[in-house]
Structure 1
Amino acid sequence: MAAYAHISKLAQSQPATELRIVLIGGRRSDGSLRGKSSVGNFILGQNVFDTSRRTAQSEARQQEVFGRRVTVVDTPGWWWYWPTEDTPKLDQIEIQNSVHLCPPGPHVFLLVIPVDLHSSQLVKASLKQHLELFNADVFSHTIVLFTAVTPSTYEEKMSRIRRNPVLQWILQQCGDRKHFLNLSNREDRDQVKKLLDKIETLITINGGRHCSVDRSQGETLRKEMTDLTERASKRFDQVQKQINKLKLQIEGRLQVLFLIS
């Protein structure tokens, strides 16, 4: 604990001028405003990510925050209780491609989890599978970011987490690194400042290294995305042609019936 406190002080005395953050995590069907896009807006202090729709593509946005140039990459979410095989291939590629949108690589992954998420073994299995989309060292660069929209004390939040073995397992994998954000109080910028301090501490612990990124993989992913998009476009055109053909056939039959009558 003393060693961690020393590293934390060292990080704060030598603040980074640039922080690169990738937001990862699942999504829910209840229209929750505690998702990754809301977190990205909260951190950057601007509504730069669209929260009115599902994130379909990884997107990078940059702002100056507390004297640092902060890049945040928002990613498509997976369903918390579903395995990777049920996540669309294009979503998987977009998630993988996120690390290539903040070159030379992200300093930290923020695993965004609503503090009231019902975390079962299905969540654990899904998380393990989806994090395999990244390099093996993803956990050493991850902080768990618990989000809420209602006021609660630190002890109340921790009590909920302690009662949940899946959340305990997640924290264990991430070296017990965690932070809480109350997204309903965007005026409280101190929440963001403390988060950036924790990120800088993690960077110091990792020897200043960002998460390793394979540039050749980025080129492969972009080619896969192009191929998938082109195939989808061709299928759409084929379906549209069939619809138009069917419309013409129906109109022709209606004209015959009209003439007969």
Structure 2
Amino acid sequence: MCYNFKNKTSQSHPATELRIVLIGGRYNDFPSGKSSAGNFILGQNVFNTSRRTAQSEARQQEVFSRRVTVVDTPGWWWTWPRENTPKLDQIEIQNSVHLCPPGPHVFLLVIPVSLYFSQRVKASLKQHLELLNADVFSHTIVLFTAVDPCSDETVESKIRRSPVLQWILQQCGNRKHFLNISNREDRDQVKKLLEKIETLITNNGFRHCSVDRSQGETLRKEMRDLTERASKRFDQVQKQRNKLKLQIEGRLGVTLFEIICNISYSVCG
């Protein structure tokens, strides 16, 4: 089903609460822009953009008279299959929907305008979105981002040249928004995005994405188990390193003692 944002509007009756989950990938040293987009939407630097997002985090601010919750998530490698994504990252992505109870109203699929989309990106996206609810696409808006000045026509031109982007937009009911995060003063970009989210909520019958509460506890247990096992492995490695260090220092000490003795013997001799 294709939703037309122009048919319905919620500007006169804005929602009092909006729950947003940011999803997307990364490519080599190219940042995904999810954290920056989250900061832009909330109007505060609440997400750390100096490092990759290792775990899902929820932050909340009042934005245009709405209580907006944004959940940032770990990004997967755009061109890698899901099996190459660390298990803990996969669990964190799954757990993101449990950080904004009773469930997210919308997923914002963050795509940098300058990123090239191949068929491998398409396959990776499908696999990683399977970590979330089956109806994730019906709750998704594609959020194109740019850190340099960029026009709407540039975005449209990129879409026309990319079959993969066209497929993604088709899955998401052609819902999209462009956010020029280089222009932090232009809050009208955010206002229009929130209005599109409200229209999506209306078209979805005011239903948020369904969340299995029992899954949340299972995921938290998996995270605890993985963290504990990782901590034990780290302790074992540290003990082995310390043992090796002592052995090396001991051997160096013996060698140094032998050298001193030999020198002394030669001098005395």
TM-score by length of 1: 0.96
- Map 1:56-67 onto structure 2 (within 5 A): 56-67=54-65
- Runs (4 or more) in structure 1 with deviation over 6 Å come to none
Cα gap change, 1:3 to 1:56, in 2 (>3 Å)? closer
Counterpart Cα distance in 2 of 1:147 and 1:161? 13
The residue identity in structure 1 corresponding to 2:100 is C
Note the C-alpha offset of 1:184: 0.3
What number of residue pairs does the alignment pair up?
258
Could you tell me which residue of structure 2 aligns to residue 162 of structure 1?
160
Q: Any idea what SS the aligned residue of 2:61 has?
A: strand
From 142, 146, 167, the equivalent of 2:144 is: 146
Q: Deviations over 1:141-200 (max 9, x none)?
A: 000000112223322220111110000000000000000000100000000000000000
| Whole-Å separation in 1 of the counterparts to 2:81 and 2:71 | 23
Q: Which amino acid aligns with 1:186?
A: R
Q: Distance in 2 between matches of 1:80 and 1:6?
A: 34
Instruction: Tell me which amino acid in the other structure corresponds to 1:240.
Output: Q
- C-alpha distance after superposition, 1:96-153 (max 9, x if no partner): 0000000000000000001121100000000000000011110000000001122233
Displacement after TM superposition at 1:257 (Å): 1.3
1:11-50 correspondence to structure 2 within 5 Å: 11-32=10-31, 35-50=33-48
Q: Distance in 2 between matches of 1:3 and 1:192?
A: 19
Aligned to 1:128: 126
Give, in whole Å, the separation in 1 of the partners of 2:72 and 2:89: 12
CA distance in 2, matches of 1:143, 1:31: 22
Identity %: 81
Unaligned runs of 5+ in 2: 260-269
Match of 1:259 among 238, 257, 260: 257
CA–CA distance in structure 1, aligned partners of residues 251 and 3 of structure 2:
84
158 and 141 in structure 1: CA distance in 2 versus 1, 3 angstrom threshold? same
Shift of 1:7: 1.9
Matching of residue 105 in structure 1 with residue 85 in structure 2:
no
For the residues of structure 2 that align with 1:4 and 1:82, how far apart are their CA atoms? 33
Corresponding letter in the other structure for 2:117: S
Which residues in structure 2 correspond to 1:1-261 (within 5 Å)? 4-8=5-9, 11-32=10-31, 35-261=33-259
8 Å CA contact 1:59, 1:101 repeated in 2? yes
Moved more, 105-114 or 248-257: 248-257
In 2: Cα distance, 1:187 partner to 1:89 partner = 38
Task: Flag the 1:4–1:22 CA change in 2: closer, same or farther, 3 A.
Answer: closer
Q: Secondary structure at the match of 2:97?
A: helix
Paired position in structure 1 for 2:267: none
Q: Is contact 1:12–1:201 with CA below 8 Å preserved after alignment?
A: no
Change (3 A) 1:89 1:151: same
**Paired amino acid for 1:100:** H
SS state of the match for residue 19, structure 2?
strand
Cα distance in 2, alignment partners of residues 230 and 3 from structure 1: 48
CA distance in 2, matches of 1:157, 1:134: 27
Structure 1 unaligned spans of 5+: none
Cα offsets for 1:217-251 (capped at 9, x unmatched): 00000000000000000000000000111111111
Instruction: Report what 2:263 is aligned to.
Output: none
* Structure ID, larger Rg: 2
* RMSD across aligned positions (CA): 1.4
Q: Take 1:3 and 1:100, find their aligned partners in 2: how far apart are those partners?
A: 29
CA distance in 2, matches of 1:226, 1:45: 33
